[in-house]
């Protein structure tokens, strides 16, 4: 089987290619950025380049679409829709031209919006930001496409926040603050944070490729059971072997500080690590159901395993190279 990955030079894609290379798959990565780990199978091209996609998908059996604009601060905001929605349309067109009928698409739980009560795959979409809205619009393109292509196999993956070794996203930032003793607990700390370890996410994608070969399927992906903030800090303390205090600050005070940083960022014309949006995200409950994904899939790592592996790699035995990936 030849698998073409679009936008796989980043964090998740690199781990996925590493896993898939252990099997007998022929791989091609199409990305606007060179892969630090797999340059020999990477072709530089943009998902917005229809001609390039038409040419490069020749001979492909299955496409994994990861390419996306996803950071909080993308400007202009039209880029979310150009890449996430327009890129979907271009990919489907290139697949049809080349007779490719299998797609694994990385969507997001961002389509559900914030503070929703443990939504499963049938929960109504209610995205609150441009990233979530553009991912939902990309799914709607697939929904409209599939009735005219019922012999296709479309698997949509909606992961929660993904963390792991080498990633510099929100989970890493949180762990770094806790590990460095600079952590302030805003709110009561009983808010739940659904997370997904990258090693489990890529293993699930491999499971879909090998086992979910028919139909139109949608899966949330979360590693269970979820951790609250009050449960996360003792785990970090145990793995790192140091006592980490938990001092709670009222929510209103945390938001006031976030707005102050917003104003400072505006004056300095630069992005800061603290903002009102990040405080709001931190204090919100982000919990999602993932029963469907785990019905026939056994994750190779528990959530505690994934957090422990990440903490040990990043803070106890860091790599000697400089390969890291930035994401929200």
Burial of 281 from C-beta contacts in 10 A (0-12 / 13-18 / 19+): middle
Q: Please tell me which residue in 80, 131, 172, 197 is annotated as part of the active site.
A: 131
Question: In DSSP terms, which residues pair with 155 in a beta bridge?
Answer: 104, 217
Are 103 and 154 spatial neighbours (Cβ–Cβ below 8 Å)? Answer: yes
CB 273 within 8 A of CB 258: no
Length of the chain: 328
Range 34-42 contact pairs with CB under 8 angstroms and sequence separation of 24 or more: 34/9, 35/8, 35/9, 36/9, 36/323, 37/323, 38/9, 38/14, 41/17, 42/9
The yes-or-no answer on residue 172 being catalytic is no
Say how many C-beta atoms besides its own lie within 10 A of residue 123's C-beta. 17
Q: How many CB atoms sit inside 10 A of residue 41's CB?
A: 16
Q: Which of 64, 29, 21 is nearest to 154 (CA)?
A: 64
Smallest Cα–Cα separation from 37: which of 24, 27, 51, 48? 27
Q: From residue 213, how far is each of 62, 146, 291 by CA, in Å?
A: 10, 15, 19
Residues designated as active site: 131
């Amino acid at each position: 089987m030849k698998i073409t990955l679009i936008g796989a030079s980043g964090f998740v894609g690199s781990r996925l290619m590493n896993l898939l290379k252990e099997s007998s798959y022929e791989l091609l990565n199409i990305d606007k950025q060179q892969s630090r780990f797999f340059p020999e199978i990477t072709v530089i091209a943009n998902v917005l380049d229809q001609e390039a996609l038409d040419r490069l998908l020749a001979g492909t059996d299955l496409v994994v679409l990861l390419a996306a604009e996803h950071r909080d601060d993308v400007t202009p905001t039209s880029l979310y829709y150009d890449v996430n929605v327009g890129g979907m349309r271009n990919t489907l067109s290139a697949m049809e031209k080349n007779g490719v009928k299998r797609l694994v698409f990385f969507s997001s739980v961002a389509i559900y919006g914030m503070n929703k009560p443990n939504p499963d795959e049938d929960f109504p979409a209610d995205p609150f930001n441009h990233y979530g809205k553009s991912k939902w619009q990309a799914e709607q393109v697939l929904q409209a496409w599939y009735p005219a292509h019922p012999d296709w196999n479309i698997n949509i993956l909606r992961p929660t926040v993904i963390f792991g070794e080498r990633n510099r996203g929100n989970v890493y930032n949180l762990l770094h603050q806790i590990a460095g003793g600079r952590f302030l607990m805003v709110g009561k700390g009983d808010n739940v944070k659904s997370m997904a370890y990258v090693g489990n996410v890529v293993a699930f994608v491999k499971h879909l490729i090998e086992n979910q070969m028919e139909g139109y399927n949608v899966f949330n992906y979360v590693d269970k059971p979820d951790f609250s903030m009050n449960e996360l800090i003792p785990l970090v303390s145990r793995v790192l072997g140091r006592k980490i205090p938990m001092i709670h600050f009222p929510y209103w005070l945390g938001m006031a500080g976030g707005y102050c940083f917003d104003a400072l960022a505006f004056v300095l014309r630069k992005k800061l690590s603290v903002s009102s949006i990040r405080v709001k995200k931190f204090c919100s409950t982000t919990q999602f159901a993932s029963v469907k994904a785990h019905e026939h899939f056994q994750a190779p790592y528990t959530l505690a395993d994934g957090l422990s592996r990440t903490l040990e790699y990043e803070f106890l035995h860091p790599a000697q190279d400089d390969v890291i990936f930035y994401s929200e």
